[in-house]
Structure 1
Amino acid sequence: MAMNRLMSRQTAQSLSSTTKRALTNKTVHPPERRIFSKTRIFTTAAVIASCAAAYTTYSRPEATVPSFPSPGTPSSATQHFPFTTSAPQLRDKEHHMLEVDEVKEKLNANANVYKVGRGKGVWRYDVAQIGANDPIEDDLALVVVDAPVGNGDWMFFGTFDGHSGWYTSDLLRKALVPYVSKELGDLYKKTPQPVSSAIDRAISRGFTKLDDDIVMNSVARVFKNPKWDARDAQAMLLPALSGACGMLSFYNTETRTLKVALAGDCRAVLGYRDATTGQWKTRALTVDQQGSNPDEEKRVRAEHPGEPDVIRRGRMLGNLEPSRAFGDAKYKWSLETQVKLYRGGLGKPPHPLLKTPPYVTARPEITTVELSENEKDAFLIMVTDGLTWTLSNNDMVELVGTWLDKQKPKSSPATESSWVASFRNPFSRAKPVEAPKILNDPNDERGRPGIEKLPFTYVDDNAAVHLCRNALGGAKAEGRWVEQLLSMPAPLARQWRDDMTATVVFFGEGDGKVTGGTEREGAGRGHGEVIPKAKFRVDSVQVFAKLMIVQKGRD
């Protein structure tokens, strides 16, 4: 360890002297050595910290640092990555800069366009996922439910941002909609037309009951049966030991009521066109629930008086950024439980600041929107924070709104006069997004201070892929941002970007004017399923027991 510190110190001194000589002599480095030199997607401090972390964690002493290929490099030439790594999954592998067709393939590898075709309020939704971790720690759920009362549909759209592993988000994909739909089903059986607050309480119960099963009931089962095999016990506890932010949107097509429930820092935004001006408007439906959020900090400190370190540097106990999440049992289990698990080889030592858990809750904040006739061409955007690092709420609405207009076929000049075309096209006299009139939008700043607005591009048929591409650099050709960021393999990629998950839901009956994307009827991984009314008669305990069968990997 001492030798490593000495080598690191010598390396730093060497780099420092080299840098000084370069500045003194005004040396101009060749273009191929300027690795990320002109990118502004991260601040200088973030770049230095990321490079240092990548060097100390992954590089070998004898490793060389080849550069990214220049834009003119032939696609047939294999290019090495700028870091040689000792990570087992990357060792002795060659990684080249992705070309345009390879970028498109990677962006669309886990993306789909779903046409609902039920004529009940949502006619299309687009999804996309891009991993920085391997396996990706994000997940999602898309379920259309035949409502137990009335003639409408219940539509659920879930977005889950995992951390410390994929185990919690994977379980949320399978279990959150059944838990919430059971609570809603029980409510509607008793009261066919419940008030909004009662629906909120039912959704919240679904969230907290599932989290109790993940965190508290799982460890109780382990303690109840001391004869459990250690591997089975560990598998039972994995969703509790990792964590995930969870967001679930519930849309009742009969009442045209949209509810968005959030536990964490995923984000939901409603975009709609003003019927008078023709401009796109942005309405934030969530506020990031983090230790740096003043309201969340006030709540947490009130729940834990006399603990000045309950939030440090904007993080729970100085470590966890989200103040609400599923799993994350180390912030919820008692000290006694954590000591017992640690002594049994099933957990880590308790946090030294642990006094009065739980510090983190899965109880959601719920926002309700009544979709009125005045909100034309409305769409819902749901994303994990991998996109909001570089895209604001206004950015996302501008991207999808303008994309939507570009997809619609233009009228023929021979059949429509210029003044009629001007009247029909509000963008001929108005900006794409109305600003600064943004409703309830405390998050309308990019994730990193000082980040310039990226130049947008419109080349994708899938609206969710379109968002992801622009979050990675969009039309910024200098340095080939999108190619560079997507070319990085895991775990190195996590130094520069996060997992990305995006869902865009288009409200309305659908007129067939927006085309493109890979259409699917919905199959597998909880996507696009239509659940009949009988499915509401489900026991959440049985659901959880089935889901907690020891898994050897993702299905």
Structure 2
Amino acid sequence: MIKTLSAVEGVAYHVEIPGSRVGPDDGPWPRPYQILAEAELARELELTAKPLSFSLGSRYSAYGVNFQPCHVYSTQDRYTVRQLNVHGRVWTFTGVFDGHLGDLTVEHTAYHLPIIVKELLSGSTPKRLQDPAEVSRILSEATTSFDRAIAGDIIKVFPGGMEALANMPQSTIQNIINRNTDPQFLKKARLCMYGTTALVALVDPDHQNLWVANVGDCQAVFVSPNGPLRWKSELLTSNHNCDNDAEVSRVVSEHPGEPECILDRRVLGALAPTRCIGDIPFKQPSEFTRKILYNIFPGYRDTSAWDKFLDRNLSPPYITAEPEVTHRKLCPDTDNGFLILCSDGLADLWSNTFSDEQRMAEEWGRIVAEVVNKEGLSGKTNLALKLLRHSIGGDDAKGVSRVLTLDMNTPWIDDTTIVIQTL
């Protein structure tokens, strides 16, 4: 937090903090915060959200923020905006990733998944890439094959694979893990311990097609023209977590006779998302975690929390990395609007205002469209930063100050990442 002599101290109650991250038990309440003057507030917001702008050719741009105001906590969100040269032509890849349990797997995914997508696109022919179904298949294969490799890189070093682990002495397992000659092996093993969602958007070189592939509970909103200075917002994603009854039913149907496959609205009673990259203890037999991950040094001193859900692990996998892929046609000769990609932290900031996700998406689209109507899609204003500012209080300087400067040593809002891409 910036230090300022002009700031006045206020006090905040938990009901004044947007989202669901804090409650009455996170007291003592009220807590102090600094009421910042507008210039200081704008500066602090930029320092914290780290807004970036990306030029995507002569007509298109993207804007991103990654926001966590608790400065003693490192955000586990990541995003990436890349242009992929495939057969001499440029595709645009945009991704938002929400990590959990740690940032190793989310960092790995944000860096490597665009590379895998580029390799698979390059392995297809230009003619086949004209078929939207082929690109949808590639996005699905890129995500699932990338995820399989996380555990596969570890299993392949054990003679006999998973089948041999049950009878393998612990000393042998520890030697294989901790004395492996591959300098990256321990890092690869630790990738199995963590997980991340993945929301990816891909636009073809002619801007005729948009694909969105989603694993987890990030959200994508397609905002397109609907008359002069009018826009319509379409939510392109569904949430892959245990709040989604369809996802719960899918997991239950895949594990008949296992009443604890979903327990207390969590997979195996432990994990909220139903689709993720990583989170290998939910995808491999329990021996994988107990025999391999427990023997990584330095490892977990207390494994009791893991053991509780591993005892329920009877017929893995319980979560999947299979994405839902959505395709939309674009018109390259007209303004197609823009795409909002965000982690679930943005929805959480609005959860006290809207319970309906489509209404929430429409409000996000309206906020950004007001800026676009004034400045056009080629404006220099960071659209993601504008949407973030509205989401934490807008013109209410005290409200924004509360979010930015609350005196608390643990996060009071969820990590929030927003990428807005013009189409």
| TM-score normalized with structure 2 length | 0.80
Matched, 1:202 2:138: yes
Question: Any conservation in 2 of the 1:273–1:375 contact (CA below 8 Å)?
Answer: no
Matched, 1:396 2:347: no
Matched, 1:293 2:244: yes
Deviations 1:143-192 (A, max 9, x none): 1123316xx52100011011111111111121000111111211226x54
Counterpart for residue 109 of structure 2: 172
Alignment length (residue pairs): 377
* Aligned equivalents of 1:169, 1:202: Cα separation in 2: 21
Question: Any conservation in 1 of the 2:96–2:200 contact (CA below 8 Å)?
Answer: yes
Counterpart for residue 319 of structure 1: 270
Question: Any conservation in 1 of the 2:54–2:61 contact (CA below 8 Å)?
Answer: yes
Which residue of 249, 259, 262 corresponds with 2:201? 249
Counterpart for residue 415 of structure 2: 499
Pairing 1:296-375 to 2, within 5 Å after superposition: 296-341=247-292, 344-345=295-296, 346=299, 348=303, 349-350=306-307, 351=309, 352-372=311-331
* Aligned equivalents of 1:186, 1:226: Cα separation in 2: 35
* Aligned equivalents of 1:246, 1:297: Cα separation in 2: 19
The amino acid of 1:112's aligned partner reads: L
* Aligned equivalents of 1:323, 1:128: Cα separation in 2: 26
Counterpart for residue 68 of structure 1: 32
Question: Any conservation in 2 of the 1:98–1:484 contact (CA below 8 Å)?
Answer: no
* Aligned equivalents of 1:408, 1:401: Cα separation in 2: 9
Question: Any conservation in 1 of the 2:212–2:326 contact (CA below 8 Å)?
Answer: yes
* Aligned equivalents of 1:248, 1:407: Cα separation in 2: 27
Q: Percent identity?
A: 24
Closer/same/farther in 2, CA of residues 49 and 312 from structure 1, 3 Å limit: farther
Query: Counting strand residues as a fraction of each chain, which structure ranks higher?
Result: 2
Matched, 1:48 2:16: no
Question: Any conservation in 1 of the 2:198–2:214 contact (CA below 8 Å)?
Answer: yes
Question: Any conservation in 1 of the 2:154–2:188 contact (CA below 8 Å)?
Answer: yes
User: Which secondary structure does the structure 2 equivalent of 1:367 belong to?
Assistant: strand
Q: How many angstroms does 1:405 deviate by?
A: 1.6
Matched, 1:181 2:118: yes
User: Which secondary structure does the structure 1 equivalent of 2:74 belong to?
Assistant: coil
Question: Any conservation in 2 of the 1:262–1:365 contact (CA below 8 Å)?
Answer: yes
Q: List gaps (5 residues or longer) in structure 1.
A: 1-30, 56-64, 70-95, 410-459, 508-555
Closer/same/farther in 2, CA of residues 342 and 182 from structure 1, 3 Å limit: closer
Q: How many angstroms does 1:268 deviate by?
A: 0.6
* Aligned equivalents of 2:281, 2:409: Cα separation in 1: 24
Question: Any conservation in 2 of the 1:143–1:157 contact (CA below 8 Å)?
Answer: yes
Counterpart for residue 51 of structure 2: 111
Matched, 1:387 2:346: yes
Counterpart for residue 467 of structure 1: 387
Q: How many angstroms does 1:491 deviate by?
A: 4.8
* Aligned equivalents of 1:500, 1:405: Cα separation in 2: 25
Deviations 1:50-69 (A, max 9, x none): 33xxx6xxxxxxxxx88525
Q: Higher relative contact order at CA 8 Å, sep ≥6: structure 1 or structure 2?
A: 2
How large is the Cα RMSD of the aligned pairs? 3.1
Q: List gaps (5 residues or longer) in structure 2.
A: 1-7, 159-172, 351-359
User: Which secondary structure does the structure 2 equivalent of 1:68 belong to?
Assistant: strand
* Aligned equivalents of 2:37, 2:102: Cα separation in 1: 30
Counterpart for residue 273 of structure 1: 225
User: Which secondary structure does the structure 2 equivalent of 1:183 belong to?
Assistant: helix
Deviations 1:81-112 (A, max 9, x none): xxxxxxxxxxxxxxx66554343233323211
Deviations 1:381-411 (A, max 9, x none): 10111111134111110111011123259xx
Matched, 1:264 2:207: no
Deviations 1:178-236 (A, max 9, x none): 111111211226x5445322221211111011111223323544769716349965432
